[in-house]
A and B are shown apart, each in its own frame.
Chain A
Amino acid sequence: GAGVSQSPSNKVTEKGKDVELRCDPISGHTALYWYRQSLGQGLEFLIYFQGNSAPDKSGLPSDRFSAERTGGSVSTLTIQRTQQEDSAVYLCASSRTRPGDEAFFGQGTRLTVV
C-alpha cells in the first residue's frame, strides 16, 4: 500500500479481555516498530522487528504484551487480559534500515480499556 496501515483505528474493550492490533507496513520495509503513546506524552518504545525477528523486545511492559511478524510484512501486537493502564494510542512505523532512512508512521490505534 501507499503508507503504513493500522487497524482498527479505535478499539474499546473491557478490562480483562484480549486485543489484537494490526500493522501493515510499507512494502519492502524490513524494519517495523511498535510504540505506545499516552495523551500528550512521548513515544514509548515497545518492540522492533527486523524482518520476522525481534532483536529488541526490551520495551514490552509485561508478559501480557506480545508481538509477531510474519512474512516480513504484517505485524500483530497482542495484549492479553487488558488493564486500564493499557489505554493509549499504539503507533506502528516501518522503514528501510540504512542510517538515513526515515520511519513512516501509521495513524495509530486508540485503545480504551473500560
Chain B
Amino acid sequence: AQKITQTQPGMFVQEKEAVTLDCTYDTSDPSYGLFWYKQPSSGEMIFLIYQGSYDQQNATEGRYSLNFQKARKSANLVISASQLGDSAMYFCAMREPLDSNYQLIWGAGTKLIIKP
C-alpha cells in the first residue's frame, strides 16, 4: 500500500494566486515527521518545511505553510502569493520508525507550473 500519496500529478496556477498541494500519508506509528521538498528544473532538492506528528501548531516558513490534519492523515502544502519561481516538482515525504531508525518515504510528486 502507498505510504505517501500525492494525488495531483500536475497543476497549473495563475501567478499571485495561492496554491494547495495535496499529500496524504499512512502510518500506524504515533511518532513521525512530514516534509516537503521542492525540485526545480535544475534538479536540486530543496527542503521547504517540516511538521512533526506531535506539533500542536501548523508549520509555517515564509510563504509556505503546512495544513496538517492529523485525523485525516493529510499534510497539504500551501503556497501563498505564488511566483513564477515556484514552478517546480514538489515532493511530500514522511519519516517513520524502522527498527528504531527513521527512514524517509516519498510521494510521487506534483509538478506545479505557475502561469504569468
Contacts and interface: CB of A to CB of B under 8 A. Distances in A.
Contact of B106 (A45, A99, A102, A108): A45
Contacts of B32: 99
Contacts, number: 66
Interface size bucket, A side? 20 to 34
B12 interface: no
B114 interface: no
Contact of A105 (B44, B103, B109): B44
A91 B45 contact: yes
Interface string A17-45: 00000000000000101010000111101
Interface residues of B, number: 27
Contacts of B99: 50, 55
B46 to A, nearest CB: 9
A48 B35 CA distance: 18
Contact of A107 (B43, B52, B91, B107): B43
B35 A102 contact: yes
Interface string B12-55: 00000000000000000001110100000001110100101100
Contact of A31 (B33, B101, B109): B101
A93 interface: yes
Contacts of A42: 89, 91, 106-109
Interface of A: 31, 33, 35, 40-43, 45, 48, 50, 55-56, 89, 91, 93, 95, 97-105, 107-108
